[in-house]
Structure 1
Amino acid sequence: MSRDRIERRLRGVGQQLNALRTDLRVCEEQLVQVSEEADECRLRALVSETPLAEREYREAQRHADRLQRHRDEIAARIVRLEADQDALLDRFTAL
């Protein structure tokens, strides 16, 4: 692979990493909020012992679980891209 092509790919990977890191920060902030909301719903469900409160808790917890999975997917993509970046840097320095 040519030096120019490696440089282009490195720039592209760097841009993707920056975007994903921003997404990860936003997702983590949202996850804190949604998890707190789910905890509050859980407490309300325990105290009130009504079917409606229980349903609200389950919905809030499902939302928090989905957001956690999304956060984990973003983190995994970052790890893969960092590995790709390392491999490209190794190729670049080997030229």
Structure 2
Amino acid sequence: MARSRVDKRLAELADRLKRLRADMEVAEEQCLHFDALADDARLRSLVSETPASERHYKNAFRRAETMNTYRARLREEIHHLEQKQDELLDRFYSDG
């Protein structure tokens, strides 16, 4: 691969990683928030023992799980792109 193409691809990966890392920061904060809401709903459900509080807990738990799954996908994608970036850097410096 020509050095200029590798350089261009590295720049594209860097931009994408920057966006994903920003998304990851937001996802981390949201996970903390939704996990706390689910924990609070669980405690309220245990104390009140009503069907409504149980539904509220299940909904809160699902939202927290959805956000945790999203965060895990972001981590995987970041890891994958970092590996690609490492490969391109190896190629970039071996050609030079």
1:91 Cα deviation after fit: 0.4
Deviations 1:19-52 (A, max 9, x none): 0000000000011001000000000000000000
1:63 Cα deviation after fit: 0.5
Structure 1 unaligned blocks of 5 or more: none
Matched AA of 2:62: R
Alignment of 1:16-95 (within 5 A): 16-95=16-95
So what's the TM-score if we normalise by structure 2?
A: 0.98
Q: 2: CA distance between counterparts of 1:60 and 1:23?
A: 22
RMSD in angstroms over aligned alpha carbons?
0.3
Alignment of 1:6-21 (within 5 A): 6-21=6-21
Matched AA of 1:66: T
Structure 2 unaligned blocks of 5 or more: none
| Structure 1 residue runs of 4 or more that deviate by more than 6 Å after TM superposition | none
Q: 2: CA distance between counterparts of 1:37 and 1:89?
A: 43
Matched AA of 1:12: E
So what's the TM-score if we normalise by structure 1?
A: 0.99
